Chain A
């Protein structure tokens, strides 16, 4: 076979002959010119007769076609000899063409390139179906398929060579031709472009972009009216530009990115007006046609657009904007359209636009966007809002939800957006609210819930919280049940806040164990020295929840809404709120209490939860009293100190301390009041009522709390099996994870410290050798009565406060015991919301009133029978040693000789806990109470009688303790109408009679009661009926 370099003697006659042979071979179908000689003459013509080259190439295109066809058909079988011949002929011509391209690229490359491109286009279109290539086949596979075909590979090799030859000299031209071919043979030609593009990525990318831009410029130059963004004519070319870039994106995304950015940079510094004005629209147009390019632009362009760049762009575009407002509008619409389409970096875009539209006040010396730029951004934002609204609403009306990529992108970054919303002000606020609303409408319930919950968890001020309402209003239009997951998420966050910090934060268990001391030690420090930012993280969500619920309640009260979904949802979450009731921070406590109170206790709550609640509320009740006591004492101490040190100079500081102390004490009494409200509500149910009574009474007489009510703790008096069991059943230990009761742990700690010090002392003792070794000098017994000293070191509370505390306790007990409680609270449930919401907002105002006055007049109320019974039993439990003689029937007065020891114990206990007298007095109006508490009354009677019987005093008043007790007992019996009118007045005689006479009087009473017991039994039966 002839090769390119071989010299042939060429005469004109020879040429004529070859031409004739070639023509004969190609034009007549069944020619007698054989294949080989035809190929020879074709090659000859190609190399010698320039004018014949098109004809020869045409001939070879048939050959290539044929070869591809046969290679496809026989690809599985052995190739025939004809096929081999064909292939070798094609190889020859490929070699010749390649050598031509190499030797004189300028002349041959354009011709051959256009031939190969056209041929490739035609062939790949023709045989696409035969190769089994569908539209969806990925480009990579198509490429592999075609490269497996020998003739096609030759062609692409030639065309790549052409490209390489031309790219240096006339890159625009060859990219142009490539683009044209790509448009002409649209989907089938893609693999060629991809192959060539991957051979010359950088050139192709830049050239393709430049080509597109030039085309774009020219078109927009031609018809000014159509505008750069709306011209339809250039769409195919743009499409092929986008297509090619799309192919190259997977491997050369970086190059594309650089090329795009370089184009943009160049436009900034370009001299020609057209380039300046058209580059950006061109880039945007490109982006609108391909998501990949859009992604590149959104990530990179946004970061490039600094205020100074924007200002420059503004200067560049001013003329154009003025001259063609229509174009400008469509440009803005295009921008908005792109924003709507961009998914990645949506948040960046939004913050960019916002920052440009409403720049931050404290510009750090950098250039600020001009007024016009800002206005433009505002305009864009308005259009964007409109578009989003339309999109979201239309997708709601349709069955199928149209996905808006922008909102999907935002949905993944709601946290940032929410933060922006919380920090927003001015014009940003409504935009962000709308954006978030649309985002959550688009992204569905869980996203909406997370947005709302993060607002609840992060809003610091009521203004910030107001976003919650507006968002909720918007979202509930589309997602009516969004509140449920929101509440769920809020609580998840709350628990998440608590759980990782188990070690560092005081947990409810710890708190309850340390309770009074911890509160008294920590709170003043926290409230006095640290600002509000030192609040635990749980505070914010809880306070926000409280605010929201208060608002909902107000609405219910004003009859604006029938019922609140939120409140209902929270009711089912009481369970999660309980742990927060035992939080050390008073502010948190207040919030939670108020929440619990406002939410109310629906019937659906389980008994376990109710138990927990009752326990927690009772614990909080006592804690609040402790808190108040500690605050007052500490503030008083401080005042005292200041008064001592600098008497008059720093009055302002004194006031401040006063204020602070007052604030905290207000808070404490607010908590107390809230507790009382809760107790009131909880006591609607008989089950919780009796629980509460138990808790309150046991708590009040508990070692740690009795101090509050003027009681004192004598260990051997109360360390009986009964009291131990009552301690372990205390609410606080109920909830604690630690099974140890508070009393045991504290006492053990005391013992521990004692032993360690004793050991130390003994060691020191052992070391000293000065003394002779007696038994006593070897072992040191420690300091005697050190334990009781420690406990007595606590300062007693001032009387005023004790009285107030006792009143509060009595009032609380009354709340539990009221007869009407059951009925009235059932019917008028919302009524309880009113004081509660007031407690949230204006609790401080009413505190004075509460402390001094008894709102509830006990005499007018009737104690309910069941609670009277419970209360009575509880008191009996507390005061008596065992139930052996706790018979409600009064035996013969002489029988008291048998129970003397018991009676004295009761007497001692009640004198340690004087407030129990008040309780007795308070509730003695209820004969049922009196009935159940009668063992105690009897014991007291006995003690008084025993004393009076043997007293040598002249007058009974000379033994005041017993006199008082006797008066009190008579009063109680009279209240409970156990004794009729003349007998009920005998107490007036007591101061004047001798002790023995008093004894006789009491004896008479005893006997009367003993006789009358049948009446009481009758009474009981009556009540039961």
Chain B
């Protein structure tokens, strides 16, 4: 039958062969992989070949068949339909068959598939992708690439906020969670070149604000899948570094705006954009704190944030905040911005510590303290929080 089905598929033309192949794969995997009659060995290989030839169109024999864009759209539509119709238990297995092994060539197709799935609210696909992201680690290159493409599709192409993204947490919370993680690492907010698009920031703050559970989704799955990453460290980084980077951008825009007339209009647009970024960040910060509180309420195991994450953020802060000239503390905007940044850091640390949702590490806290003391301007709140953490951790650690 294996040879039969291959031969039959090879004789068919495009939409039919793929439809047939998908149907075959679905039925095969749903039946818990029975041995195919007439094929003594290596049923697995036949299945993989069918998938390669007729779904991914990466032929091992002969030259790869190139699909036109319309055909590709058709293909994506068929895959989505296939996932919708497949039994619940075999969905991820099918997904894994297609995109699990290695996503060298199929990455592009996967991206398009996800994009279509987002548009059509095809939650089965999104769920599978979310799992895939979590398994891959949301900070890996593949996942970041996917995120980048999605962001450019949905946040950059259309200036007005996308209907699709705003409803994402309700369609697939896990996907939203992993997407945020990956996005925060892709757009690190560490300078003018890694700014998250305004639309993205708006969406993310909206998500976190509306649904405090979003950040915990991946942690929730940690019981099933051993690996997990949470969006909280990344979001904290955004909230902390954001004000400082934004104030620098504003200063630069003002400087260039005063130079030329063209620069002025340009500077105005930058200024308004930066101001809305800042507003979003404020919102996000509050939402983040609420999420931390929430995770404490639902009694999840601690792990949303760790001391080393915070220490890392402090490090990056020193990179963003350049060592000050002697006697000159920089502009007033900048000093107030660093104040905001340090206070936010302190708040998050305090809330996380208070709700016990973070993984403490005395060494890291000490490191933070020394950095804050030597390389950053003094902030009363931060130093107080840090001192308290050190005392409490020492009181913790000595008995244990």
What residues make up the interface of A, taking CB atoms closer than 8 Å to B?
A: 10, 12, 15-16, 19-20, 22-23, 26-27, 47-55, 57-59, 100, 103-104, 106-108
Contact A23 B70 (CB under 8 A): yes
CB pair A54–B119 under 8 Å, yes or no, is no
Docked Cα-Cα span, A683 to B158, in Å, equals: 111
Give the contacts of B309-336 with A (CB-CB under 8 A).
none
| B120 in complex: contacting residue of A19, A53, A58, A107, CB < 8 Å | A19
Report the stretch among B73-81, B212-220, B278-286 that lies at the interface: B73-81
Q: How far apart are B360's CB and chain A's nearest CB, in angstroms?
A: 43
Query: How distant is A987 from chain B, measured CB to nearest CB, in Å?
Result: 124
The answer to whether A48 and B77 touch across the interface, beta carbons within 8 angstroms, is no
Check B70 against A55 for contact (C-beta < 8 Å): yes
In Å, the complex CA distance between A15 and B167 comes to: 15
**B189 CB–A CB distance under 8 Å:** no
**Would you call B70 and A58 a contact (CB within 8 A)?**
yes
Q: Are B157's CB and A52's CB within 8 A?
A: no
For residue B152, which residues in chain A have a CB less than 8 angstroms away from its CB?
A: 107
* With known contacts A12-B120, A12-B121, A23-B77, A54–B156 Cβ distance under 8 A: no
**Do B115 and A50 touch across chains, with their CB atoms under 8 A apart?**
yes
Q: In the complex the two chains form, is B120's CB within 8 Å of A52's CB?
A: no
Contact B157 A51 (CB under 8 A): no
* Complex CA distance for A59 and B112, rounded to whole angstroms: 18
Does A27 contact B70, Cβ atoms closer than 8 Å?
Answer: yes
Contacts of A47 in B (CB 8 A): 158
Q: Which chain A positions have C-beta within 8 A of B15?
A: 27
Contact call A107/B73, Cβ cutoff below 8 A: no
Q: A27 is contacted by which of B74, B112, B119 (Cβ under 8 Å)?
A: B74
In the bound complex, do residue A103 and residue B159 qualify as a contact, i.e. CB atoms below 8 Å apart? Answer: yes
Residue from A53, A57, A104 in contact with B156 in the complex, judged by beta carbons closer than 8 Å: A104
CB distance from B73 to the nearest CB of A (A): 4
B116 near A23 (CB under 8 angstroms)?
no
B260 to chain A, nearest CB (A): 14
B299 at the interface (CB under 8 A from A): no
Q: In the complex the two chains form, is B157's CB within 8 Å of A108's CB?
A: yes
Query: Does B3 reach chain A (CB closer than 8 Å)?
Result: no
Q: What's the nearest-Cβ distance from chain A to residue B225, in Å?
A: 27
CB–CB B115/A51 < 8 A: yes
Q: Point out the residues of chain A lying under 8 angstroms from B153, CB to CB.
A: 50-51
Nearest-neighbour CB distance to chain B for A932, whole angstroms, equals 112
Give Cα A50–Cα B118 distance, bound, in whole angstroms: 10
A49 touches B119 (CB 8 A): yes
A107, B77: Cβ atoms under 8 Å?
A: no
Distance in Å from the Cβ of B108 to the closest Cβ of chain A?
11
**What total count of A-B pairs have CB within 8 Å?**
70
Give chain B interface residues in 8-40, CB to chain A under 8 Å.
15
Q: Say yes or no: A19-B70 contact (C-beta < 8 A), given A50-B153, A51-B119.
A: no
Are A104's CB and B157's CB within 8 A?
A: yes
Q: Which residues of A contact B68 (CB under 8 A)?
A: 55, 58
The contact of B158 among A52, A55, A104, by CB within 8 Å, is A104
Contact in complex: A23, B119 (CB < 8 Å): no
A20 and B81 CA atoms in complex are apart in Å by 11
Whether B154 lies near A52 (C-beta < 8 A) is: no
Residues of chain A with a CB closer than 8 A to B45's CB: none
| Shortest distance from the beta carbon of A23 to any chain B beta carbon, whole Å | 5
Q: A12-B120, A15-B120 are in contact. Are A52 and B73 (CB under 8 A)?
A: yes
Give per-residue flags for B154-168: 1 if the beta carbon is below 8 A from chain A beta carbons, else 0. 101111000100000
| A48, closest chain B residue (CB) | B119
Please state if B70 and A26 are interface contacts (CB–CB under 8 Å).
yes
The smallest beta-carbon distance between A625 and chain B, in angstroms, is: 92
Which of these, A23, A103, A108, contacts B73 with CB under 8 Å? A23
**Whole-angstrom distance from the CB of A168 to the nearest CB of chain B?**
10
Q: Do the beta carbons of B73 and A51 come within 8 Å of each other?
A: yes
* Shortest distance from the beta carbon of B113 to any chain A beta carbon, whole Å: 8
User: Does B72 sit within 8 A of A, measured CB to CB?
Assistant: yes
Interface string of B85-121 (1 = CB under 8 A from A): 0000000000000000000000000001001100111
CB-CB contacts below 8 Å: B111-141 with A: 112, 115-116, 119-122
**B397 is an interface residue with CB less than 8 A from chain A:** no
Within 8 Å CB of A103, what residues of B? 158-159
- Contact check, A19 vs B159: say whether CB atoms are below 8 A apart: no
Contact A19 B77 (CB under 8 A): yes
Given contacts A55-B73, A103-B159, 20 further A-B contacts (CB under 8 A): A15-B119, A19-B73, A19-B116, A23-B74, A27-B71, A27-B74, A49-B119, A50-B119, A50-B153, A51-B73, A51-B76, A52-B73, A54-B72, A54-B73, A55-B68, A55-B70, A58-B69, A104-B158, A107-B152, A107-B156
Asked if A51 contacts B116 (CB within 8 A), the reply is: yes
Q: Which 8 A-B pairs have the closest CB atoms?
A: A12-B121, A50-B153, A51-B115, A54-B69, A107-B156, A55-B73, A58-B69, A55-B69
* B94 to A: closest C-beta gap in Å: 20
Question: Who on chain B is nearest to A28 by CB?
Answer: B15
CA distance A324 to B55 in the complex (A): 54
Distance A1015 CA – B163 CA, assembled complex (angstroms): 151
- Contact check, B154 vs A50: say whether CB atoms are below 8 A apart: yes
The CB with the most chain A CB atoms within 10 A, among B70, B154, B163, is that of B70
Contact check, A57 vs B69: say whether CB atoms are below 8 A apart: yes
In the bound complex, what is the Cα–Cα distance between A15 and B162 (angstroms)? 14
Residue pairs across A and B with Cβ atoms less than 8 A apart, 18 shown, are: A12-B120, A23-B73, A23-B77, A27-B70, A48-B119, A50-B115, A50-B153, A51-B112, A51-B119, A51-B153, A52-B116, A54-B69, A55-B68, A55-B69, A55-B70, A55-B73, A107-B156, A107-B157
CB-based nearest A residue for B73: A55
Q: Which residue of A lies closest to B121 (CB)?
A: A12
Please state if B156 and A55 are interface contacts (CB–CB under 8 Å): no
Q: Which residues of A contact B156 (CB under 8 A)?
A: 104, 106-107
In the bound complex, CA of A58 to CA of B68 (Å): 8
Complex CA distance for A20 and B74, rounded to whole angstroms: 8
CB distance from B270 to the nearest CB of A (A): 14
Query: Whole-angstrom distance from the CB of B176 to the nearest CB of chain A?
Result: 16
